[in-house]
Amino acid sequence: MLSMKQETIREILDILEDTYPEAECALHHGDVFQLIVAVALSAQTTDKSVNQVTPALFAAYPDAFALGDADPEEVSTYIRRIGMYKTKSKNIVKMAKMLTEKYDGKVPEDYDKLVELPGVGRKTANVVLSVGFGHQRIAVDTHVFRVANRIGFVCEKDVLKTELGLMEAVPEARWSRTHHSLIFHGRNCCDARKPDCEHCSIGHLCEKHL
């Protein structure tokens, strides 16, 4: 359900882009394979934590063939400082193995094929298509969900409806940039428990205060 006028949404997006000109994917990666692994690892943990473990992980397993042949228990030793590391190690090994068996070790540029991979859900697939392949996508993580509903872009109770609502509310050419802008605003200002409304660049347009 849409909650805000199109002109206001465009004005907010313009301000957020000016406020966070550096907003982009914060996960360190060298190619699309490393990107999909990093995004899968980032579930329910911070990008900063993932970036701390992936250099050694990617040095040991630089491609899908190396990771797909790995022992999940050995892989888990590289990522044990992040949440759910045992489950994630099993998933990324299974994912890499499927990539080698079905796609010659390459990450497919197709949503339906991506979500068939172990450990890859809607958000991960959208991030890979956006950041890895340049498609316009809105991936709804906890920051995007919170900020989009709090400021009034949409008024939804779940992630999927929020994504679909944002796709309707935001011009397609701005989808990917909007995703990153909302994440940066959520991290830097619109905190879950204590939003810094006093210093918010879009506070005068936010429906939380209207």
Question: Which residues participate in catalysis according to the annotation?
Answer: 123, 141
Tokens of 185: 């605003």
Q: What burial letters (b/e) apply to 196-209, b meaning 16+ CB within 10 Å?
A: eeeebebbebbeee
Residues in the chain: 210
- DSSP type of residue 21: T
Task: Tell me the C-alpha distance between 89 and 30, whole Å.
Answer: 20
Question: How many Å separate Cα 60 from the centre of its chain?
Answer: 24
Instruction: Tally Cβ neighbours within 10 Å of residue 134.
Output: 10
Task: Tell me the C-alpha distance between 166 and 160, whole Å.
Answer: 10
- DSSP type of residue 173: G
CA distances from 43 to 84, 121, 142, 153, 201 (A): 9, 10, 10, 24, 28
